[in-house]
Amino acid sequence: MHGCGAAQPAGTAWGELVLVVPVLVEGLLLGARYALFAAGFTILFGALRMPFIAYGQLVLVGAYAVLTLTSGLGLGFFAAALAGLLALLPVLYATDRVFFRPLYSSESPVIVYLIITIGLTQILSNAIELVYTANPRTVFTPYRQTAAVLAGYPLSYAGVLSILITGVLVVGVAVLLAHTRFGRALRAMVQNRDAAALMGVDIIRTSTRAYLLAGVLALAGGMLLALDSSFSPDMAVQIIGIVFVIALVGGSGSIFGAMLVGLVLGFVLAAAPLVMEPYMVDFTIYGTLFAFLVLKPEGIFRR
């Protein structure tokens, strides 16, 4: 998840550049990715009050879908991504229809959401391990070739594309939330659900759309993960840990706040291996979260 090139001893100006460039590039890559994950997750957690535990598995479904479509059907990466999204959208819609829509109008569905999504987590993770084994997998595309070498750091086309597309998606979500009727309805639901309903927001329809949007963002996030990184089933637990941290630190109501925290966290994680042992990174993230939960449970950006 937070892979960064091995740290080289600094000293000269060139040495420092060798350190800074990978951190900046990896930071941008991870930051954009976490902002995307956080956007989808916070739409569910903040607006729908749905703690979607299976989010990490949903991301991996996107990654493995691309793997199957490229290696199985021989599609190019972007054709596979598009085909995967089109094929999975009806599945997302069906899960919404069967599991969640009956609950959108009910009073306190949070625990039910939690338990249903835990069930989905168990099902999806087991299915993924059955079909694809626990070993790391890689989608090989021509984009993996090096596009440029920056201060000794090889930057691949895939990395550039991943940063660009993720960035476009993140900005797109921000624009959607800020400027469309749907976005306003969703933000109104975050602030006060009952008041939003009284002002004419169709809670059920907005919830369904938000669920589909969040699901597509998760799948797309997984596909972009597959574009430039290897992935394995155990990443799902890391992803859910990180998106919870982002959502809680950012303030679970604020989608923009979560995106910002995700971006910052990406840079922090890219830089962290320079100053600490890799396995300490997880402890640091979770430790920060616990400090936040105890000292400032409402998060940085309040609703």
Partner 1 sequence: MKAHLAANAALVALGIAVAFSDPFYAGIVTLVALFVFLATAVNLLSGAGVLMFATAGLYGVGAYTYAHLTVYYAVSPWLAIALGTALAAVVGVLVVMASLRLQGIYFAVSTLIANLVMSAVFLNARPLTGGPHGIVGVPTPSVSLLGIDLTLRGPWHTVLTLVALFGWLLVVSAMMRGARGVRLQALRMDSVLAGTLGLGTARIRLQVFLLCAGAMGLAGTLYASYATALSPYEFDIFVSFAVLTMVNVGGRLTFVGPIVGAAFLTVPVFLFQPVYALRNLIYGSLLILVITLSPGGLVGIVRRGADRLRPARLQEGAPDARAA
How is residue 177 annotated by DSSP?
H
Quick check: helix, strand or coil at residue 246? Answer: helix
Q: Count interface residues toward partner 1 (CB under 8 A).
A: 35
Both tokens of residue 235? 């990443």
Question: Under rule CB under 8 A, which residues in 51-90 are in contact with partner 1?
Answer: 51, 53
Q: Which of 94, 152, 290, 302 binds partner 1 (CB under 8 A)?
A: 290
Q: Does 121 bind partner 1 (CB under 8 A)?
A: yes
Among 88, 286, 301, 303, binds partner 1 (CB under 8 A): 286
The DSSP line for 49-109 is ----TTHHHHHHHHHHHHHHHHHHH---HHHHHHHHHHHHHHHHHHHIIIIIHHHHTSS--
Give me the least distance between CB of 57 and partner 1, in Å please. 10
The encoded tokens of residue 206 equal: 């907005």
Binder among 4, 31, 43, 125 for partner 1 (CB under 8 A): 125
On the CB side of 194, CA atoms within 13 Å amount to: 3
Is residue 275 a contact point for partner 1 (CB under 8 A)?
no
Tell me: does residue 11 bind partner 1 (CB under 8 A).
Answer: no
Element (H, E) at 156: strand 153-156
Range 95-99 contact pairs with CB under 8 angstroms and sequence separation of 24 or more: 95/120, 96/208, 96/211, 96/212
Residue 93 as a binder of partner 1 (CB under 8 A): the answer is no
Chain positions 21 to 50 lying near partner 1, rule: CB under 8 A, are 49
- Pick between residue 122 and residue 146 the one whose CB is nearest to partner 1: 122
Q: Name the residue nearer to partner 1 (CB basis): 28 or 248.
A: 248
Tokens of 189: 């639901």
Is residue 172 within 8 Å of residue 183, measured between CB atoms? no
If binding is defined by CB under 8 A, does position 182 make contact with partner 1?
A: no
Name which of residues 190 to 249 contact partner 1 (CB under 8 A): 237, 241, 244-245, 248
Identified binder of partner 1 from the candidate list 10, 83, 112, 212, rule CB under 8 A: 112
Query: Given the rule CB under 8 A, which residues bind partner 1?
Result: 49, 51, 53, 99, 110-112, 114-116, 118-127, 130, 237, 241, 244-245, 248, 279, 282-283, 286, 289-290, 293-294, 297
